[in-house]
Amino acid sequence: MGICDDRVVIVTGGGRGLGRAHALAFAAEGAKVVVNDLGVGLDGSAGTGSAGSGSAGSGSAGTGSPAGQVVEEIRALGGQAVAHGGDVATEEGAASLVATALDSFGRLDTLVNNAGFLRDRMLVNLGEDDWDAVMRVHVKGHFLPLRHAAAYWRAEAKAGREPAARVVNTTSGAGLSGSVGQGNYAAAKAGIVGLTLVAAAEMGRYGIQVNAIAPAARTRMTEQAFAGLEGVPEDVSPLVVWLGSAASAGVTGRVFEAEGGRITVMEGWRPGPTAEKGARWSPAEAGETTLRLLADAEAPQPVYGAS
């Protein structure tokens, strides 16, 4: 018996790296898994691993695709899984993703938003296309599956079948502290934190819990940017599986950092030292007061890669 017995779980970007580890870990705990992966390259370019057929929004994925290969691994171990090859940053792809879970297994319990890619540049060299592409796959690729899954769960709750629904989003240390050369990625990952907090506040009434993880592990996305990472994707997955299970009841609106054998509850923006005059400050007064407040404030986390 696993902690996810009979739960139906979607993992986006589940064909490689962290997503693959999550999909296998959920299956090992008894979940039925929908493995989504578009099969693109590290920078989102096509033609680097997808052997599936059909359009990006159609949801089809061949057995030789990254998603199909993970499904075969799960089935070989006695689990149940189906592949989905659609683009979750499109309305069609996100809708077909949730429909695949419902059509294949009759329900949906957990959504793990993990899909993403990198296009790293220093800000002065960062083109608009690279900005838009990274924001699209990370932020929109979280929003659309979340919205479609939440619509299903809200309908279930209104029909008197309140779910024990779970969403696990994927942010990053880059989104929490910044990362030199990754302005687009850091902004997207920070946006996912904001989306997580709002979704948790809005959706709790329907039995939906929403949390985020900031994983640190050696994957094809991190091996160049963060060469010193020691952890592997399989180290992160146990926390994701627990957050995606009914056992995590009452935990929502939180961000966790996971690396190797370490789990950290991340504590975000909250009021620090404050001064109140009761009237408008002059610029000089505002400056003097701000310097005094900063002297009493905690230093910010250093930006990754800053000298």
Active site residue ranges: 172, 185, 189
Amino acid symbol at 200: A
Nearest residue to 267 (alpha-carbon basis) of 252, 249, 254: 254
Distance of alpha carbon 213 from alpha carbon 172, whole angstroms: 7
Amino acid symbol at 73: E
The continuous run of DSSP H or E covering 211 comes out as strand 208-216
Sequence-separated (6 or more) residues with CB below 8 Å from residue 241? 3, 4, 22, 25, 26, 29
Distance of alpha carbon 27 from alpha carbon 78, whole angstroms: 9
Distance of alpha carbon 210 from alpha carbon 2, whole angstroms: 21
- The CB-side HSE value for 40 (13 A sphere, CA atoms) comes to 19
Nearest residue to 258 (alpha-carbon basis) of 272, 273, 239: 239
Distance of alpha carbon 84 from alpha carbon 306, whole angstroms: 39
* Pairs from 195-199 (Cβ < 8 Å, separation ≥ 24): 195/139, 195/142, 195/143, 195/146, 195/169, 196/169, 196/171, 196/253, 196/255, 197/253, 199/146, 199/150, 199/167
Where do we find the tokens 């929502």? 252
Nearest residue to 46 (alpha-carbon basis) of 137, 112, 126, 114: 137
The neighbour count for residue 211, using CB atoms within 10 Å, is: 23
